Amino acid sequence: MLFAVISDVHSNFDALDAVLKDIGRKKIIDIFFLGDSVGYGPDPNECVEMLSETCQILLAGNHDWGVLGLTNISYFNEYARFTIEWTRKVLTEKNKNMLESFPLKKEFNDMLFVHSTPKEPEEWHYLFTLWDAEINFRYFDNKLCFLGHSHQPFIIERVPSGELVTYRGKTRMKDGSRYIVNAGSVGQPRDGDPRACYVIVEDKDIQINRVPYDIETVQNKMRKKNLPDLLVERLSEGR
């Protein structure tokens, strides 16, 4: 078993490119993507196209659905809403159709892939606390669940007795335990580390990986396209 899980690219092509190159250097072929191709960043078309060409599983997230008009965008903050409306204008019809074909969750080989949470994926809940995890472990029975959405990577293990254990970097899977893994965000990390984030699974090892990329280039593209300053600045702060 060897594969990569990536999530929340958010139109940041330079971060995506750096992550895909890192995955390529590690000779990993299978890449599973958990949604939010677009929103926030300057290169929505390039990201949708590159993801479609390279990933075996492709999911949709709340920003993708926002752009497609499939979810109410009034609950997004003003910056997210601004870029969703901007993305609607620049995304090609072909790429909109592509995004529209991505489901919200997918099961494969005793694994569940979802953008938000196993419980009511279309409601875009966040999984922040151990209590959130406890609830969500009841909504799937696979050994592994990969999700994104909060842009904060973690691994939570549920041991057979029911106890939950959190890992920030890596862990080795145990028989009988089940796992929820947040793959973090390729294009807009929010855990204080601005490097692009993704997950590698190799046999029993689950590992959160960080990849540096040229943040300044992305920030310059965003300024040229008049995207909000706050979104430009947060990239270098990883928040």
* Interacting residues with Zn ion (CB under 5 A): 8, 36
Q: Cα–Cα distance between 70 and 149 in angstroms, integer?
A: 17
Nearer to Zn ion, 35 or 118 (CB): 35
Residue 20 CB, shortest distance to Zn ion, in Å, is: 18
Quick one: how far is CA 209 from the chain centroid?
13
Nearer to Zn ion, 58 or 173 (CB): 58
Nearer to Zn ion, 173 or 196 (CB): 196
Residue 187 CB, shortest distance to Zn ion, in Å, is: 8
Nearer to Zn ion, 36 or 157 (CB): 36
- How many Cβ atoms from other residues are within 10 Å of residue 72's Cβ? 9
**Range 195-214 burial, b when 16+ CB lie within 10 A, else e:** bbbbbbbeeeebebbbbebe
Residue 25 CB, shortest distance to Zn ion, in Å, is: 26
State the DSSP H helix or E strand holding residue 113, giving kind and residue range, or none if neither.
strand 111-114
Q: Cα–Cα distance between 121 and 34 in angstroms, integer?
A: 12
Residue 28 CB, shortest distance to Zn ion, in Å, is: 23
